[in-house]
Structure 1
Amino acid sequence: MDPLFSTDTRTAVDWELIHRHWPDLMQVAPSVKQGTVSSVTLLRRLNNRSRKNPIYQAFREVGRAVRTTVLLRYLSDPALRKQIQEATNKAEAYNGFTKWLHFGNAGWLTSRDPELQDKAVKFLDLIDSRVIFSTTIDMTTVVYCILRRLEPSPRPTWRSSAPTGARSCPASATTPSTASTYPHPPTPPRFTL
C-alpha cells in the first residue's frame, strides 16, 4: 500500500499524467456511455497500440487510483466487507451447484467451436434455472401446506390464495421425504375477485 503513495514514479499514481490527459479521457467516457464506441472496441484499440500511448497510460493511472480507493473503502468499512463476502458466497454457492449439476466429461467443454460452447453454457443455465424453479415450487407447496395445517380454523380463501394453487397437500409436508414420495404437481393459481 505504501508504494502507491510514495514519490517513486514507478509505483505511485501519476496524478500529473491524469490531469494532463483529463480532457481526452472526458471525450472518450461519454462516447462509451452513449454507445458510440463500445468499451470492448476501445480496449482493443488501446491494447493494439503501444503501451506508450498517453491515453492508455492515463486510463491505467485512473484505474490504479480507483482500485486504491476501493481497497481503502474495503479495509475501512465492515459493512462493505460483509456485503462483498455475502455476494461472493452466493456466487460460489451457485457455481458449486452448477458444477454438481453438470454432466458429461466432468463439465469440461470438449469442442473448440465457440457456437457449440455457447450452446453448452446456455443449456446448462437452462437446466440450472429449471431445477431451481422446480425446487422453489415444491418448497412453496410444502410450506403452504404446513402453514395451512397450523391454522386453527381453515379460511375459505386459503385455497384460492395458495401460491401454487394446490388443492391437496403432498405427503412430504407431513412425513419425511423418501424416494417413493413426491409432491403433487402444482396447479395454476386461481384468483378470486
Structure 2
Amino acid sequence: MTSSWTKYTVTLVTNSLTGKTFGTDNNDQLAIEFSVMWGAGNAARVGDSVAETFGGAGNIDIAQVQLCAGDVALPFQPRHFADELALCQRYYERYDGGPGTRLNLPTSVADITTSYRTALFFRVPKRVIPTMTQGGGFRFIPGGANTTLNFFETTPYQTGISAPTSGATVGSSITIQSLDAGGWIAADAEL
C-alpha cells in the first residue's frame, strides 16, 4: 500500500470447469475479494496460520476495478453511470413511487366490465422474458376500492397489467395506485 494512487495488475489462472458438478442452491461463484485487514479467524483464507499484526488507522481507497477474460490486462475502460445502470436493468428493474410517495401505474382502461388494463413499458429491454412480482396492495383512483394486479403477455419490452373490478363502463379510464408508499412492481430477468 502507498499513500498515492498506484495501479496493480494481477493475472490469475482459474481451474477448468470441465467435468465439474455445480450445486442447485444458486451459490456457485467465482469471487474476487479485497481483504484489508484480517484476524486469527480469517488467517487461513489468505494462506497464513497467525493473525495479521498490522494495526493502523485511516482509509483505503480502491477505484477503477476491472476484470478481463483472457491472457492480457486491457486498459481501464470506464463506463458512464447511465450506461452501467442500463446494463444492470437488463436483468432487474423495480418500479416504486420513490421516497414517501405512492406508485401510480399508467392510465388503465376498462376492456370489459370486470377488468381494467394497462401496459408498463420497461425502461430497458430485458435479456429474456422477466418474471413479474409485486409488493404491497393497490387501489383504484378515484374510488379507492382495493384491487389485485395480474400480469399478462409479458415480453422483454413490456408487461400487461390487469386489475379485476365489477361494474366498470367499457372504455372508461382510471388510475391504479399503490395503497401506501411501499408498493412496488419488479421485472426480474436474472440468470
Q: TM-score range by the shorter chain?
A: under 0.3
Q: Which has the higher helix share?
A: 1
Higher relative contact order (CA 8 A, sep 6+): 2
Compute the TM-score of the two structures, normalised by the length of structure 2.
0.27
Larger Rg: 1
Q: Which has the higher strand share?
A: 2
